[in-house]
Structure 1
């Protein structure tokens, strides 16, 4: 198994906490997708993907439809996607993906979390190079064979294919998302969920006490409603 398998295995143990927060973050994804390419999932591949993720998270259908309708309202402001980079204590690199309608608030909050937890908010490009930006798909594994599927998908950008208890997982490069999504849809392979992750190219081992120092920062970041995802290099 490769790095994507190990990364997923570790992250599965720590998902978004409260369901209400999960729905809030998916709701933002819906708004961003609709503002970008319209409210029709048949012609908006990003919206189709978000709707699949909403279903996988057990978000009620009414909530999804309301979010799409609300996002179609021209008076609703846009969410700006911003990436923050910095260091937690003990030299752990941290990437923070946010989606916000008030960038000044988000910048102030993220900076305060780093400062209060003995970290340092860095400049653009300061740690992003330490992570590989990937796309991923979780498929209905019924009738699929990992080795055969991997051979089929090499030309579409797949880098790692493996089976786990949640389904058949496919990882590829960030820019290969569209080609892989199109292949699955054209071949009637059911996509259960999909998304993007930043896998650290190297990780750092810490003592239990040092891990607690880093986790204080990670928890503050993950509890912020403007934060969509947090990635780090702690082993």
Structure 2
């Protein structure tokens, strides 16, 4: 959801997430990515997953086993499943999960929505609320903005902006993922965050009470081992994050 939202998650939920949960999610991501090949030089998704594993100090032996498992087709029956629904106040929530037991995961997700006053919708109910894009985030220090912008456009990016925290945010269609990564490599640049994101097409303004309730739901969802990512469309407001 962007750097600002990531900072919020650190304040509200990230500090109490067990290291084991983080490892589990990253290793599942590596296994999934390795289905496309075990060479990170040609498999950009695997490369990004490995970068994430390195940043989180995931043990090398675990990483290698995850790569072999994915490349060998042994993914323990995991399948990708999406869930769509609304939290209190009409906040849209899109959940991406990977599971080897769809009944278990669906039951858990439904119970979380019920507990925090939300409602699970039907597949496709949020198709006009979110759109999938490639998103790269990297520090802008030492980079000429005009030259960088032209290079990214040439690589297929649709939007390049510089935020108030000194980061370039590069967005593009899904098919531009490989070309943007290749251009980054040619320029000797490394993104701190990169991947496929679901970006809101419209936003929902909420009050403090609604925000707190929705964040409890998001935190609970993210703490489920089967859940990979949770997207929402809350309008960013610094006042919501005051302790």
- Asked if Structure 1 and Structure 2 have the same fold, meaning a TM-score greater than 0.5 normalized by the shorter chain, the answer is yes
Distance 1:142 1:213 in 2: 37
- Following superposition, the deviation at residue 68 of structure 1 comes to 1.5
Question: Secondary structure, in 3 states, of the residue corresponding to 1:128?
Answer: coil
Distance 1:107 1:186 in 2: 43
User: Once superposed, what is the RMSD of the aligned Cα atoms?
Assistant: 2.5
Cα deviation digits, residues 5-36 of structure 1 (max 9, x gap): xx43233321553332222111111111112x
Distance 2:233 2:163 in 1: 25
Distance 1:81 1:75 in 2: 15
TM-score, scaled to structure 1: 0.84
Inter-CA distance 137–56: structure 2 relative to 1 (3 Å threshold): farther
Alignment of 1:144-163 (within 5 A): 144-158=143-157, 159-162=159-162
Q: Give the count of matched residue pairs.
A: 229
User: Which sits farther off after the overlay, 223-232 or 49-58?
Assistant: 49-58
Inter-CA distance 60–169: structure 2 relative to 1 (3 Å threshold): farther
Gaps (5+ residues) in structure 2?
236-243
Inter-CA distance 61–163: structure 2 relative to 1 (3 Å threshold): farther
Distance 1:64 1:205 in 2: 41
**Residue of structure 1 in register with 2:5 after alignment:** 10
TM-score, scaled to structure 2: 0.82
Inter-CA distance 83–74: structure 2 relative to 1 (3 Å threshold): closer
Gaps (5+ residues) in structure 1?
none
Contact 2:31 2:75 in 1 (8 A): no
